[in-house]
Amino acid sequence: MRKPLIAGNWKMNKTAAEAAELVTILKEKLAGIDEVEIAVCPPAVNLVPVYNIISGTNLKLGAQNMYWEESGAYTGEVSGPMLKEVGTTYVILGHSERREYFKESDEDVNKKALAAFKFGLKPIICVGETLEEREAGKTLDKVRGQVKAGLRAFSREEVIETVIAYEPIWAIGTGRNATAEDANEVIKYIRELVREDFGDAADQMRIQYGGSVKPSNIAELMAQPEIDGALVGGASLDADSFVQIVEGARK
């Protein structure tokens, strides 16, 4: 049985004070939920204040990015050991915004993921097609390339620890989500790709959906057999809607 993961990707939102206010409400309203794993992913500068509030609760901490080197002259970057030491469990890697605006390649994502394991973090690797690619019937090709390159040189154990977030780019922040059936189909395909290289570790790896997840669509997404939770952007910034999404993910 795969435990669903609902992760809030706050992106570049919330000051430390706003972040503290949000997680103070979340930890109270989500207390005791055990059948769904819950993570919040604030901007790096707010990992410490958020962890100070959620430490010892059922909320886990995730980062939105990291660099693959341990330390050194890499101005502006944050390393795995730094994230680990402040209580981080997950790290989102290869989000489409990072791929598009910051030119991250599949190879970068793979290097970051391997470094994440080395320093005791679990990667949430994002994959997904553009609208153009979808309309040209290239969704599966795109996802195949990203998954194969992203998981290159992983061990079986590392695959089991990995989360993949399937996020069609045209559904991110647009209010336009993939249908639950379409998302399930692509996620099923991703699991088959993982099975090709890692056998039944594919059955233990969690694959989330992301892209305009909200309280009104979480239940139908979670009703699909292959969907193991959600990576939630906009709707994770509001306590009530994030709480409703977590509640909706309890099968």
Residues of the shown chain interacting with ligand PGA in the complex, contacts defined by CB under 6 A? 9, 167, 172-173, 210-213, 231-235
State the DSSP code for 2.
P
Least distance to ligand PGA from the beta carbon of 232, Å?
5
Residue closer to ligand PGA, measured from CB, 195 or 214: 214
132 in catalytic set: no
Residue closer to ligand PGA, measured from CB, 110 or 208: 208
Between CA 26 and CA 249 the distance in angstroms is 15
What is the distance, to the nearest Å, from the Cα of residue 2 to the centroid of all Cα atoms in its chain? 15
Residue closer to ligand PGA, measured from CB, 161 or 167: 167
Joined together, the tokens standing for residue 49 give 């204040």
Between CA 161 and CA 124 the distance in angstroms is 9
Least distance to ligand PGA from the beta carbon of 194, Å?
20
Least distance to ligand PGA from the beta carbon of 117, Å?
22
* Catalytic position from the list 37, 129, 158, 167: 167
* Catalytic position from the list 37, 95, 104, 133: 95
69 in catalytic set: no
Which residues lie below 8 Å from residue 91, measured CB to CB, with a gap of 6+? 62, 63, 64, 65, 66, 80, 83, 112, 116, 121, 122, 123, 124
Q: Which residues are catalytic?
A: 95, 167
